[in-house]
Amino acid sequence: MNDDIQAKLRELPAVSVVLEEMTDDIARHGHQAVTKAVREHLSLLREQLQRGETADIAVEGVLSSVRRMLSNQNQSTLLPVFNLTGIVLHSNLGRASLSEAAIAAMSKIASGASTLEYDISEGKRGDRDSHIEAIICELTGAEAATVVNNNAAAVLLTLNTLALNKSVPVSRGELVEIGGSFRVPDIMSRSGCRLIEVGTTNRTHLADYADAIDADTALLMRVHTSNYRIEGFTKAVPERELAHLAAQHDLPFVVDMGCGNLIDLKALGLPHEATAWETLKNGADLVLFSGDKLLGGPQAGIIAGEKSLIAQIKKNPIKRALRLDKLTLAGLEATLQLYRNPDALTSQLPTLRLLTRSEADVRSQAERLCNLVTKALGNSYSVDIANLSSQIGSGSFPVEVLPSAGLAISSKSGEDGELRALDRRFHELPNPIIGRISNGVLLLDLRCLEPNHERQFVEQLKDLSL
């Protein structure tokens, strides 16, 4: 090692010297974390010097590097983002945004003890489902209800309770995969029942079910083919007929409804989707649905229907492993309470507010933002207002689209790399902006940019450092 390097190494500040300057940082991050960061950075500098490289070994430089390290360490990777993908209920971006009422209810319960499993009038142990059962029954017309971690759990628990070691006929047209990890045949085998495939992919008749029923059959199940649609020469058995067949054989009829709708969506100008109320009226003994899809609440799975079946499900020891925590219960209850006043839903419930935003409203927002975004992006990019189509998402309504508007950003050079670089920059913002690149343009669908987040969206563009 030459003398020069030796001299530089001797100039490296000692750990204690750096720490002396970091009393405030130690108060914030703790002595151990700060000491560790200082040691790591000094050893990095030592290695650089030993390799003959230049390194900033002044105390000031060391301090700022260590402070950057400490603040990076505290950065969560679970971040709020601007969902400008055009998919309102985006499964990878957290599905439904919660209402203010749900957030308030969750935060009220979060900070202290609660009556989670305490019956206040009796002064003894209570049931956590009791807080929510009555309102589910009120909104669905069910006799009884229970709640679990998500709809996948609802399907698993229902089948494991009612069909363990028995068989369940399901139409071949309904053996769907939802979002990669939920596949009907897999969840059935894990819940301990045997799937009996009936009918064909495009056509299943009542006789197919009738032929499949034997002494081993536990129940009949219908699965909402949420995320795909078969068109053309198709046939599915109406719910009423399936319910009738099940009743004839004294079997429960279970419907996995998927997205969980409680209201007349057509009246809001959205595509029709059966409600839990209608499905139970059609003769389903149990309906299962998600809390964080169309319903607009926190992640949950709701099981509603006949009292004796719900009682069996609640007694299954697996229920304990799938139960909801107090925050989710509070958020779900507050979400459901909003449904008592359906007229206010499109203003109070973000999911329905976003889904029912008019094209004109989104377009005027695009017009408002176009210049600001153009300025922020500098000379290399051009920004245009674009007609777009939003999707409802989360596996519901695979075909229907909502007319929307947004910004279409293209690079003036026409180079794909430049557009991808901008997309990356958007992703690196403190609250990442998630759009989509399509045919050489970066599209930002503004349907999900709520006006009260607009300022933050614009402010952030300053950090793009283009």
Ligand X SMILES: *Cc1c(COP(=O)(O)O)cnc(C)c1O
User: Site residues (CB under 6 A) for ligand X?
Assistant: 150-152, 155, 178, 182, 223-224, 226, 256, 258-259, 290, 301, 395
Minimum separation from the CB atom of position 62 to ligand X (A): 48
**Token pair belonging to 373:** 């975004």
Minimum separation from the CB atom of position 300 to ligand X (A): 8
Minimum separation from the CB atom of position 255 to ligand X (A): 9
- The Cα–Cα gap between 69 and 79 comes to 19
- The Cα–Cα gap between 277 and 266 comes to 15
User: Measured from the CB atom, is 191 or 290 closer to ligand X?
Assistant: 290
CB count, 10 Å around CB of 27? 10
Report whether 351 contacts 362 (CB < 8 A): no
User: Measured from the CB atom, is 192 or 403 closer to ligand X?
Assistant: 192
Q: What is the DSSP letter of 199?
A: S
User: Measured from the CB atom, is 283 or 301 closer to ligand X?
Assistant: 301
Report whether 57 contacts 12 (CB < 8 A): yes
Give the start-end residues of each E strand in 111-193: 118-119, 124-125, 144-148, 167-171, 177-178, 182-183
Minimum separation from the CB atom of position 393 to ligand X (A): 11
User: Measured from the CB atom, is 290 or 411 closer to ligand X?
Assistant: 290
User: Measured from the CB atom, is 118 or 182 closer to ligand X?
Assistant: 182
For residue 344, which of 329, 361, 332, 356 has the smallest C-alpha distance?
A: 356
Coil/strand/helix, residue 443: strand
User: Measured from the CB atom, is 395 or 406 closer to ligand X?
Assistant: 395
- Per the listing, tokens 């006789």 go with 207
Minimum separation from the CB atom of position 155 to ligand X (A): 6
Give the start-end residues of each E strand in 12-106: 82-83, 87-89
User: Measured from the CB atom, is 188 or 334 closer to ligand X?
Assistant: 188
Report whether 413 contacts 380 (CB < 8 A): yes
Minimum separation from the CB atom of position 184 to ligand X (A): 8
Report whether 372 contacts 342 (CB < 8 A): no
- Per the listing, tokens 């609250």 go with 431
Minimum separation from the CB atom of position 238 to ligand X (A): 18
Beta strand 433-434 with 82-83 is: parallel
User: Measured from the CB atom, is 304 or 419 closer to ligand X?
Assistant: 304
**Token pair belonging to 326:** 């107090």
Sheet holding 220-223, edge to edge: 144-148, 301-305, 286-290, 253-258, 220-223
User: Measured from the CB atom, is 91 or 346 closer to ligand X?
Assistant: 91
Minimum separation from the CB atom of position 225 to ligand X (A): 7
- The Cα–Cα gap between 351 and 145 comes to 24
Identity of residue 34: V
**Token pair belonging to 8:** 């530089």
Q: What is the helix (H) or strand (E) element at residue 386, kind and residue range?
A: strand 381-393
Report whether 125 contacts 117 (CB < 8 A): yes
Minimum separation from the CB atom of position 100 to ligand X (A): 23
Minimum separation from the CB atom of position 114 to ligand X (A): 25
Residue nearest to ligand X (CB): 258
User: Measured from the CB atom, is 182 or 277 closer to ligand X?
Assistant: 182
